[in-house]
Amino acid sequence: MSVRTPDPNPGWLNEADLHEARRRLPMVYVEAIPVRQDSLGYVTEVGLLYTADDDGRFYRTVVSGRVLYRETIRAALLRHIEKDLGSLCLPQLPPSPTPFTVAEYFPYPSETGLVDDRQHAVSLAYVVPVSGECQPRQDALELSWLSPDQVLSDDVQGEFVGGRGQLVRQALGHIGFTG
């Protein structure tokens, strides 16, 4: 790690260094559950990404990504939402920085039940209403808008990995969805 030599992008990590850092430090993440609301604010639909891992296995996920050095949480949230849902999705970032939960992903089975093979990630999770046109990111096959009931169905819950099905259930509890 040649951090003492000049760096075109000081303050950020190259891929190799990031790989190492991920084995030494918890990474700060943000996650967003995109939702559509009716005029009273009730959540009518939840946006889930459908994508594939390196082994070609399909799974559902939510907007998720790392917070960079010197980046605010809000800037990271907006960046990842626009990367995953497109720049026309019109997210309404919450007025408060308090997440609805903090998810702790570990690189092995742990007491939290949340797993991320690559790293230890501490993830601040938000419910984010979007009112614009959304399109899935390039490496996502699909963006599906499902009703809260559909999201809680065994079929859909079985398509999450790493414990994200639980995260989405927590989000629905937080918004007061009462199945």
Closer of 4 and 55 to its own copies (Cβ): 4
CB 94 within 8 A of CB 77: no
**Separation CA 157–CA 99 (nearest Å):** 22
Q: Taking the CB of residue 69, how many other CB atoms lie within 10 A of it?
A: 11
67: contact with its own copies by CB under 8 A: yes
**Separation CA 144–CA 44 (nearest Å):** 13
Taking CB under 8 A as the criterion, the residue among 55, 111, 139, 154 binding its own copies is 111
Taking CB under 8 A as the criterion, the residue among 50, 65, 86, 101 binding its own copies is 101
Closer of 68 and 146 to its own copies (Cβ): 68
Nearest to 106 by CA among 37, 15, 22, 167: 22
1: contact with its own copies by CB under 8 A: yes
Closer of 16 and 141 to its own copies (Cβ): 16
Stretch that binds its own copies, among 47-55, 63-71, 134-142, 143-151 (CB under 8 A): 63-71
Residue listed under structure tokens 């990271």: 76
129: contact with its own copies by CB under 8 A: yes
Helices (H), the chain: 15-21, 73-85, 148-152, 154-157, 164-174
Query: In one letter, which amino acid is 127?
Result: V
144: contact with its own copies by CB under 8 A: no
134: contact with its own copies by CB under 8 A: no
Residues of this chain, 4-23, that bind its own copies according to CB under 8 A: 4, 10-13, 17, 20-21, 23
